[in-house]
Structure 1
Amino acid sequence: MIHPKIIRRQQVILFALVGLILVTVLIGMGMGNASVSYNRLLPILFGQGTFKEEFVLFSIRLPRIAITFLAGMALAVSGAILQAVTRNDLAEPGMIGINSGAGVAIAIFFLFFPLDAGSFIYLLPVIAFFGSLLTACLIYLFSYKKGVGLQPVQLILTGVGFTMALSGVMVVLISSAERRKVDFIVKWLSGNIWGNDWSFVLAILPWLVITIFFTLYKSNRLNLLGLSEPVAIGVGLSVQRERFILLLTAVASAAAAVSVTGGIAFIGLLAPHLAKALIGPRAQLFLPIAILTGGWLLLIADTIGRNLVDPEGIPAGIMAALIGAPYFIYLLIKKV
């Protein structure tokens, strides 16, 4: 049973996060190349704006904000699962090759298959999922030792190796493609939020809803997987089965995110760590906080990045790396 004081603390933190998210959304709605006056936001939202104002807000600004926020939530879910499944605080979808697997799959699909504008958007998460899944299965296979089980440190090292190898594959693919398609892949690799239409929101929303609710439902299993394997087996948990199911969930969540935002790292690392620092390691408590934190972190990274340099700004993936890389180095030093 969770103490009522801790529940109240969680509620206060969630309320504060919602406030931060709303403030960031408000700032993001007004800032950009085509700025919208803040005192005009309410009239525009209620249908009293000019054609230009409504186009900028409803067709450009709000879809991008929604996609960014949803993708950040998805990456946080994936990171939280991977850290529990591997019992390694450094596990994160961008770090262990899952994002790279999605990237190679999307690059192959985009460069060598005929594209239909109507189905392309909805196929992207599916293609990314299969690329990530194949990569995750290979990493898991190389990190598993019979009689010992999954080796967390080996998993991280194998994941880094796969990330480097897949980066090489991406270079080969780019070198054989036409310039127009190369530009798209390069933007994708830098973590540029290129999905900026409501159809992209609809494409990733079902994946996100399923993975978030399923992860929250499995939160007690995540607690047990975070313990040593003998303890988890001792309480009757089917460790390998639960690991496989949750790994699939992590892959689906990360794939949905990176299919519309590109290769973004460190959000899945930072969000769970910040949530645990605020409320503790119990999954039922930190997961909702981590999910909102992930959405807010990517949202603020994109808001700052797209307004920092004219005309196109700095990709959200680079801003996220500038925020997350120092923390990753700190964790690495702490582990050593």
Structure 2
Amino acid sequence: MKTDLRSTKTISVALVLIIINIIVIIISLNTGSLRIAPTEVLQTLFGFGDYKNTLVLFEYRLPRIIITILAGIGLGVSGAILQGVSRNPLADPGILGLHAGASFGLILFVTYFHSLNDKAALLIPLFTFSGGLLAAVIIILLTYDRYKGILPIRLILVGIAISACFNAITLFLSLRLDEDTYTFASRWLVGNVWGRDWIHVIALLPWIVTLTPLGWLQARKLDALSLGDNTAVGLGVSVLRSRLYMLAIAVALSSASVAMVGGIGFIGFVAPHLARRLVGPRHQHFLPVAGLLGMVILVLSDTVGRSIFQPNPIPAGIVVAAIGGPYFLYLLTKTK
């Protein structure tokens, strides 16, 4: 009975978040350097708009919005998985160093291809995943104990150190780029979603659509791991194998998202916390809600950044940091 009530609440919360996101999307389609009336937005979406509105909506704004939707889901789910795997409520893809590794992969891509557009953009998630995976492997090797396996308590500290190392290497490589490529890449890495095209949607879509359900299917194992390794073993969970598998999913989700929206931090941290408060601690319920919250946060942040601060829009990453930073400090003071 209690499970049914929890499932009903989860569905209700999910529907509310979807409705909120639809409202934000409508506002986002309407706002920008060129404002389009809501009635004209609807007419254009149904194929009755003029050439100018069709060009603005379908070639500039819709790809950007879809990218923020997909990346927000990826970052939210990734953060929820990492917090479950590490048994640490302060875990986040950015704090653990995964974003730094993915950014390193992105700079390597730019170094060789000198472009973030055209068909080569399909390779960007592969490069960022390789960078994120490299960071994850180093972190695992440094946190692995011969007798106790991966020690969750070490993940955060090692992740911070690895993040600093990768950030230094990324900065060194970026300084070797030509001026135009460096400017574009640096804006990309800071979390600026400007300039995204349909090719970037195609590059990100399969990663999110495939990996998000795979992460949700591991909900019971995440619940078991949250009770401690000994209890998880008693429940029949292969701790090391399950932890590595779920880490791989989290790395892939966060790296693919970073590939298209840059190193936006705090979404993977804030979204799971809010989801847990809304629908409870079971991963079956709060993991999808974390993805929806990540979607709402990123779409809203991008909309605020480019509408309120016209004619000089600010990157979505800065808006997210302005929200997530104080919340992070609040939780730190609460957990003392």
Q: TM-score range by the shorter chain?
A: over 0.9
8 A Cα contact 1:195 1:261, kept in partner? no
Residue deviations 1:21-78 (CA, integer Å, cap 9, x gap) = 1110011010000111112122111211110011111111111111001100000111
Amino acid at match of 1:269: F
User: What does 1:120-135 align with in structure 2 at a 5 Å threshold?
Assistant: 120-135=120-135
Residue matched to 1:230:
230
Residue matched to 2:39:
39
The 1:200/1:112 distance shift into structure 2, 3 A limit, reads closer
Residue matched to 1:150:
150
Deviation at 1:262, TM superposition (A): 0.7
Deviation at 1:106, TM superposition (A): 1.1
Residue matched to 1:320:
320
Deviation at 1:113, TM superposition (A): 4.4
8 A Cα contact 2:207 2:252, kept in partner? yes
Root-mean-square deviation over aligned CA pairs? 1.5
Following the alignment from structure 2 to structure 1, what is the Cα–Cα distance between the partners of residues 199 and 288? 26
Percent identical across equivalent pairs?
A: 40
Residue matched to 1:254:
254
Amino acid at match of 2:17: L
Residue matched to 2:112:
112
Residue matched to 2:275:
275
Moved over 4 A (4+): 113-118
The 1:106/1:74 distance shift into structure 2, 3 A limit, reads same
The 1:118/1:174 distance shift into structure 2, 3 A limit, reads closer
Unaligned runs of 5+ in 2: none
Residue deviations 1:141-167 (CA, integer Å, cap 9, x gap) = 111222233222321011111111112
Residue matched to 2:85:
85
Residue deviations 1:277-312 (CA, integer Å, cap 9, x gap) = 001010111112111111011000100011232334
Following the alignment from structure 2 to structure 1, what is the Cα–Cα distance between the partners of residues 283 and 87? 13
Amino acid at match of 1:315: P
Deviation at 1:335, TM superposition (A): 2.8
SS at match of 1:193: coil
Residue matched to 1:168:
168
8 A Cα contact 1:67 1:195, kept in partner? no
Residue matched to 2:301:
301
Following the alignment from structure 1 to structure 2, what is the Cα–Cα distance between the partners of residues 123 and 182? 19
8 A Cα contact 2:301 2:316, kept in partner? yes
Moved more, 308-317 or 70-79: 308-317
The 1:217/1:115 distance shift into structure 2, 3 A limit, reads same
SS at match of 1:3: helix
Amino acid at match of 2:318: I
Following the alignment from structure 1 to structure 2, what is the Cα–Cα distance between the partners of residues 2 and 290? 21
Residue matched to 1:15:
15
Following the alignment from structure 2 to structure 1, what is the Cα–Cα distance between the partners of residues 3 and 93? 32
8 A Cα contact 2:60 2:195, kept in partner? no
SS at match of 2:313: coil
Residue deviations 1:213-245 (CA, integer Å, cap 9, x gap) = 101111111111111110001111100000111
Residue matched to 1:95:
95
Q: How many residues align?
A: 336
8 A Cα contact 1:211 1:253, kept in partner? yes
TM-score (norm 2): 0.96
8 A Cα contact 1:68 1:299, kept in partner? yes
Following the alignment from structure 2 to structure 1, what is the Cα–Cα distance between the partners of residues 120 and 2? 45
Following the alignment from structure 2 to structure 1, what is the Cα–Cα distance between the partners of residues 41 and 142? 53
Residue matched to 2:57:
57
Amino acid at match of 2:264: I
Unaligned runs of 5+ in 1: none
Amino acid at match of 1:170: T
Deviation at 1:118, TM superposition (A): 4.3
8 A Cα contact 2:223 2:283, kept in partner? yes
Moved more, 72-81 or 186-195: 186-195
The 1:330/1:7 distance shift into structure 2, 3 A limit, reads same
SS at match of 1:91: coil
